[in-house]
Chain A
Amino acid sequence: MSSIDLEILAKCKIIDENWAELMSEIVMQKTQGKGSPKSSLKQEKPLSKELDAKPRIAPGNYFALNITEDSTRENVLFFSPSESALMYTKKIATDDQLDMLLAKMTYLGLLCLSMIEQAKVENLYNEHLVEYSMICDHGIWLKRKDNSLVQDWYKLRENFGFQNKEKSAEGPSTELYKIFQMHESNFLSVLDVEQMKMLLEKSMFSIVF
């Protein structure tokens, strides 16, 4: 997950808009005395609308998080859970894990839909007479309006930074390609049948109860 994702989640009001401050506090608490770069963690200004997490959170391997810089983009950070955080999440209650999984799927689903929509705006695909994909928004490919993910997307899509941007004169947006590369493994990680079954079976059991 990157600072771009966190910024979108904050705009969607799914996480606190002061996520950068909160994260720097967490990171600082766990790393005090280990020689962490304190000066870079100082937070004096309110959160800017720009993706400028870098001045607040210094890259490094912390107790709960590993934070790395994007070498190709300024002020973009990547966050991944540390070994200890992964071990902790394995120990916490299954219900909590499933809630996190559903939240992850929802966010990635919304991101996917926004990327597809922007690909249409920028004509990043090559349509054919037999174009069968979610690029289409007609006939059998129309999104079901009573689908909760689609409803969420209609409500939140404006918060995705790249949404509805005009095609750049310089050519196709490289930003979308970078987002795809960043999340490629995340997209594939949700195709887990056992986890999906756990989500579905949990509810079946409870309805019987």
Chain B
Amino acid sequence: MSLTLNTFFIEDVAQKTKDTIEVFWLAIPTVFKVFAARASSCISVCSTVLGRIGDLDLPEDNFVMLKIKLHFFLFGVYASHKKDAQAIYAELIALEKLKGNLEDDKIRLHISVEIAFAKAYFFYKLKKGKYSKSDQIIVGENEKRYRNVINLIRENCDTVLAKMDDSFEVERGRVAILVCKILVNIEGGIAEDTFKQRVRSAIEIFGKYGCKRLELQANFLMVRLQQK
């Protein structure tokens, strides 16, 4: 009896440790991103966490997911700071590799959608010349074309996201916004009524989730779409 209790307790400690690492080690770069005085400190903290997770060598999906989220974190920070294109693209490559380590098919599908969206966003910004050293990046000219970016989203995000539950409604909203942003940029690009409807829905979703900046962006896009 005492052995059982002891084993249970110790297992509990191990599980507690894993649970704490899974959440806390992702929360740390986030608080540095929000509160640290220097923007770059969240990058170094996130890189440190990634290194430590690698050293721990925990094979479970939860920890693969943690690594994936940390790479997404870096991608988001690099992209919003308009860092050099090579560094941003390297994160996308790392994400593609890590995706293959996931055991759960459903989670892998969710990650595939996120990666496809991140890629589409990256190529859209690359085409717009928003990143430094973009001439050094080796990607096909076709990939950077606006039409191909839209196809990437339609084939890899739209169909899958449509089948997902309500917890992915922000993702659906983001996809709608990105597609419409691209359509606004294409000469002669006309947004179908369905897209306008999707932007209207996105405005509601962003409002519901308190994403004020995205809500504002979506409203601005709506105006531009109406003018087309």
Contact = CB atoms under 8 A, between A and B. Distances in A.
Nearest to B70: A132
Contacts of B110: 139-140
Interface in A137-172: 137-144, 147-150
Interface residues of A, number: 58
A167 to B, nearest CB: 12
A108 interface: yes
B213 interface: yes
B108 to A, nearest CB: 11
Given A132-B73, A147-B19, A196-B17, A140 B114 contact: yes
- Main secondary structure, interface of B, reads helix
Interface in A165-188: 176-177, 180-181, 184, 187-188
Nearest to A202: B10
A200 interface: yes
A123 B56 CA distance: 34
B224 interface: no
A180 B36 contact: yes
Interface stretch (A29-37, A68-76, A78-86, A113-121): A113-121
A138 B172 CA distance: 11
B191 interface: no
Contacts of A87: none
A23 interface: no
Contact of B31 (A98, A115, A196): A115
A92 interface: no
Interface of B: 6-7, 10-11, 13-36, 45, 48-49, 52, 55-56, 58, 62, 65, 68-69, 72-73, 75-76, 79-80, 107, 110-111, 114, 118, 121, 167-171, 174, 177-178, 209-214, 217
Given A147-B23, A180-B31, A188-B45, 15 more contacts: A108-B24, A109-B23, A109-B24, A113-B23, A127-B212, A128-B213, A136-B170, A138-B209, A181-B35, A184-B36, A187-B32, A193-B52, A196-B56, A197-B56, A200-B56
